[in-house]
């Protein structure tokens, strides 16, 4: 297997449990890691045997900016499912999302969720 990972992408989206979060929006930070079914790309040196990192970026950007979710877990699952469905070489996708502005009454840097989706 081979892994492709893109870290700390930032997009503006309209996600959250509360209506004001979905109306005002905020920045979200994403890490996406895709694991291939084999390591054929190591020998072939051919992008057709892996997933291009630009595909990870595009999937996260499209979902964050063009869809609305109440829960970050649903957003992450959507991204993982989309990547697995569009790229048959992928066996597993891990999506991590960080949200800094959260309705929690106390000091914190961010809330982070992580979802792992596996190809069937």
62 contact partners, CB below 8 Å, separation of at least 6: none
Share in percent of the chain as helix, strand, coil (round to 5):
35, 35, 30
Residue 94: active-site member: no
- Of the candidates 61, 99, 118, 120, the residue annotated as catalytic is 99
Q: In what order do the strands lie in the sheet with 111-118?
A: 3-13, 26-36, 90-99, 111-118
Catalytic residue list: 99
């Amino acid at each position: 297997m081979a892994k492709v990972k893109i870290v700390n992408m930032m997009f503006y989206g309209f996600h959250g449990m509360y209506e004001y979060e979905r109306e005002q929006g905020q920045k979200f930070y994403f890490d996406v890691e895709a694991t291939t079914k084999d390591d054929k790309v190591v020998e072939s040196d051919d992008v057709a045997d892996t997933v291009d990192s630009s595909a990870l970026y595009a999937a996260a950007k499209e979902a964050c900016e063009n869809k609305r979710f109440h829960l970050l877990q649903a957003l992450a699952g959507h991204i993982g499912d989309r990547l697995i469905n569009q790229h048959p070489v992928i066996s597993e996708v891990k999506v991590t999302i960080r949200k800094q502005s959260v309705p929690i009454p106390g000091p914190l840097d961010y809330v982070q969720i992580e979802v792992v989706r596996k190809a069937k």
